[in-house]
Amino acid sequence: MLIEIQVRNLAIVSSMELELLGGLTALTGETGAGKSILIDALGLALGERADNSLIRADSDRTEVTAVFDLKNLPEASEWLKHQELDEADECILRRSLNRQGRSRAYINGRNVPLQQLQELGSHLVEIHGQHAHQSLLKNSHQRRLLDAYGGLLELAQQLAQQYRRYQSELNRLESLTDAAEERASRLDLLRYQANELNSLNLSLDEWLNLEHEHRRLSHQEQLADTCRAIINGLDDEQQAMRSRLSSYVERLSEAAQLDETLSEPQQLLDSALIQVDETLASLRNYLNDLELDSAGLQQLEERLSAIHDMARKYRVKPQQLTDKLSHIEEDLKSLENSEVELAELTRIVEQQRDAYLELGRELSVKRKDVAQRLSGEISQAMQKLGMPGGKFKVLLRELQQDQATANGFEQVEFMVSANPGMPLQPLSKVASGGELSRISLAIQVATIRCGSTPTLVFDEVDVGIGGGVAEIVGQMLRTLADNRQILCVTHLPQVAAQAMHHFQVLKTTQKKTTWTAIAKLREEERIQEIARMLGGVQITEQTLAHAQEMINMASGPN
Distance from C-alpha of 428 to C-alpha of 138, rounded to nearest angstrom: 8
Domains of the chain: 1-130+460-521 (3.40.50.300), 182-336 (no CATH)
Q: Is 351 left (phi over 0), alpha (psi -120 to 50) or beta?
A: alpha
Q: Residue 321: CB partners within 8 Å, gap ≥ 6? A: 197, 200, 202, 307, 310, 311, 314
pLDDT at position 558 over 60: no
Other CB atoms within 10 A of residue 358 CB: 12
DSSP state at residue 30:
S
Q: What are phi and psi of 10, to 5 degrees?
A: -110, 120
The neighbouring-strand residues paired with 110 are 107
Please give the single-letter amino acid code of residue 168. Answer: S
24-33, 34-43, 87-96, 290-299 — most confident range:
87-96
- Give the residue from 374, 416, 376, 371 showing the smallest Cα distance to 396: 371
Calpha distance 447→480 (Å, rounded): 11
Q: Which amino acid is at 197?
A: L
H or E segment at 116? helix 114-124
Element (H, E) at 410: strand 410-417
CB 491 within 8 A of CB 474: no
- Strand order of the β-sheet with 455-459 is 125-128, 455-459, 485-489, 24-29, 501-510, 513-520
CA distance 244 to 242: 5
pLDDT over 80 (residue 237): no
How far apart are the two ends of the chain, measured CA to CA in Å? 28
According to the model, what pLDDT value does residue 410 have? 95
How high is the pLDDT of residue 536?
65
pLDDT over threshold 80, residue 460: no
Q: Any idea what DSSP says for residue 390?
A: -
Yes or no: say if 141 and 447 are a contact pair by the CB < 8 Å rule.
Answer: no
Residue 557 has pLDDT above 60, yes or no: no
pLDDT at res. 133: 58
E strands along 299-404, which residues? 391-398
Rg (CA), the chain: 47
What's the pLDDT tens digit per position in 285-323? 888 876 655 456 777 878 888 888 888 998 988 888 888
Helix (DSSP H) and strand (DSSP E) numbers for the chain? 19, 15
| Closest among 70, 65, 68, 47 to 118, alpha carbons compared | 47
Is a pLDDT exceeding 90 seen at residue 503? yes
Angle, CA 13 vertex, CA 11 and CA 17 arms, to 5°: 135
Q: Are 66 and 60 in contact (CB under 8 A)?
A: no
Read off the DSSP letter of residue 93: E
What are the strands of the beta sheet with 61-69, ordered from one edge? 13-19, 2-10, 61-69, 90-98, 103-107, 110-112
Q: Alpha carbon of 191 to those of 47, 118, 178, 184, 255: distances in Å?
A: 62, 59, 21, 11, 82
- Using DSSP bridges, classify how beta strands 455-459 and 425-426 pair: parallel, antiparallel or unpaired: unpaired
Q: Please report, for residues 26, 414, 534, 553, the alpha-carbon distance to residue 543 in angstroms, rounded to integers and kept in the order given.
A: 20, 42, 7, 15
DSSP letter at 55?
Answer: B
Q: What is the DSSP letter of 279?
A: H
Q: What is the pLDDT of residues 134-153, one digit of tens each?
A: 667 788 889 988 998 999 99
Burial of 378 (0-12, 13-18, 19+ CB in 10 A): buried
- Identify the pLDDT of residue 102: 87
Higher pLDDT, 434 or 69: 69
* pLDDT tens for each residue of 79-122: 999 999 988 888 999 999 988 878 899 999 999 999 999 999 88
